[in-house]
């Protein structure tokens, strides 16, 4: 008997994920571009000066106003927003397939993510000899944050609709308040200030961002008008919080106000992209962007292999310079883009 696929259901799943995959792909390309551009002032004869500092470096400690963030400051918050936006959908799929074993899968998956990022950081620092052999970074924190959110995957938190959104928003607010109260203790105990991007300590705050984004996902399911109203309200609340608390941008500290105000701005950007995807693209995936967005793990694996090969060959290669680092980054990015699309066409994906 021939098995008949439910193509209608498959198309719905594809269109539902298209905006997230497009944005993830855009984020990866933007992130790679920023990391190249922020180093250009150090190349002999090429100096972007203050323009590069203002656009591509961390914002100086200033009070958060209408914007107050540059691209690099918002990147980590954007990653966690996207994780939260798809987390419950992904977990429910696993839960329907294996039952309570989905919790174990979630734990092992995030532990693996931590290990992969720690390995990448370790071999990169072994090559360029900077910093700790394996410092905490916000990318390593993706796995740790995923482990911290496991208690919030119980049935009451998997409710959808307005009720589900309110439950998730309430949990996120509670986590953020606790994070604010215990901030200094967390950074003292779990190595926040010793690692790039706030380290393990910041992961507790990022858990709140994930829950906020999950609530936003529930609102988005109510329709574009409901999502528009909620996004405007969340953004205005972020401005109010920034003004009342006099929130300052401090990348090394990751205060609760910093995380929340950054989240409100990321949500506004995502809503705009969401609306463009719905009305201009008709919920269609952009092949290159979506392929990159669905294959982020491939990007990590390519980086590990290329950088690992450089470490193995370092004694026979010229001393590492910025130009070496630049062409390595371009090579990794180019190889990834060349592989991601054809692999996706063959239904071979490396999801993170």
Q: How far is CA 250 from the centre of its chain?
A: 19
Strand partners, 43: 46
Helix then strand then coil, in percent of the chain rounded to 5, is 75, 0, 25
Report the distance separating Cα 215 and Cα 165, nearest Å.
4
pLDDT by position in tens, the chain (length 352): 333 333 333 333 344 467 888 888 787 777 767 766 665 554 444 455 555 556 666 777 777 777 778 777 787 888 899 889 989 988 998 899 999 999 999 999 888 888 877 776 676 666 655 554 445 566 668 888 999 999 999 999 999 999 999 999 999 999 999 999 998 888 878 765 545 556 788 899 999 999 999 999 999 999 999 999 999 999 999 989 888 888 887 766 788 998 999 999 999 999 998 888 888 877 777 777 777 777 777 776 776 677 667 666 666 666 555 556 566 666 777 777 778 777 777 777 666 6
The pTM for the full model equals 0.80
Report the distance separating Cα 172 and Cα 152, nearest Å.
10
Structure letter (DSSP) for residue 63? B
Are 252 and 202 within 8 A, CB to CB?
no
- 254 in helix, strand or coil? coil
Instruction: Quote the Cα angle for 67-326-38, to 5°.
Output: 20
- 286 in helix, strand or coil? coil
Report the distance separating Cα 146 and Cα 238, nearest Å.
24
């Amino acid at each position: 008997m021939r098995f008949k696929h439910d193509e209608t259901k498959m198309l719905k799943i594809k269109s539902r994920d298209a905006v997230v995959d497009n944005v993830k792909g855009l984020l990866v390309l933007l992130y790679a571009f920023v990391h190249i551009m922020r180093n250009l002032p150090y190349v002999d004869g090429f100096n972007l000066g203050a323009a590069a500092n203002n656009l591509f470096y961390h914002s100086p400690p200033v009070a958060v106003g209408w914007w107050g963030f540059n691209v690099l400051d918002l990147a980590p918050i954007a990653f966690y927003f996207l994780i939260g936006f798809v987390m419950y959908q992904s977990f429910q799929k696993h839960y329907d397939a294996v039952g309570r074993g989905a919790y174990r899968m979630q734990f092992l998956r995030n532990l693996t993510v931590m290990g992969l990022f720690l390995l990448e950081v370790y071999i990169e620092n072994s090559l360029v000899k900077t910093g700790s052999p394996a410092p905490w970074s916000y990318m390593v924190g993706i796995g740790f944050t995923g482990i911290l959110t496991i208690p919030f995957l119980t049935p009451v938190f998997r409710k959808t609709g307005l009720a589900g959104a309110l439950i998730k928003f309430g949990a996120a607010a509670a986590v953020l308040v606790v994070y604010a109260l215990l901030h200094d203790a967390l950074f003292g105990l779990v190595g926040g200030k010793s690692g790039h991007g706030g380290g393990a300590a910041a992961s507790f705050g990022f858990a709140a961002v994930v829950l906020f984004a999950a609530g936003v996902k529930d609102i988005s399911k109510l329709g574009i008008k409901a999502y528009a109203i909620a996004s405007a309200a969340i953004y205005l609340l972020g401005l109010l919080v920034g003004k009342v608390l006099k929130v300052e941008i401090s990348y090394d500290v990751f205060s609760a106000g910093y995380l929340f105000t950054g989240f409100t701005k990321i949500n506004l950007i995502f809503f705009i992209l969401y609306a463009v995807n719905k009305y201009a693209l008709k919920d269609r995936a952009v092949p290159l962007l979506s392929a990159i967005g669905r294959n982020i793990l491939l990007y990590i694996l390519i980086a590990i292999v290329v950088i690992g090969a450089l470490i193995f060959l370092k004694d026979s290669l010229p001393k590492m310079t910025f130009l070496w680092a630049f062409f390595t980054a371009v090579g990794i990015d180019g190889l990834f883009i060349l592989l991601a699309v054809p692999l996706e066409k063959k239904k071979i994906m490396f999801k993170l």
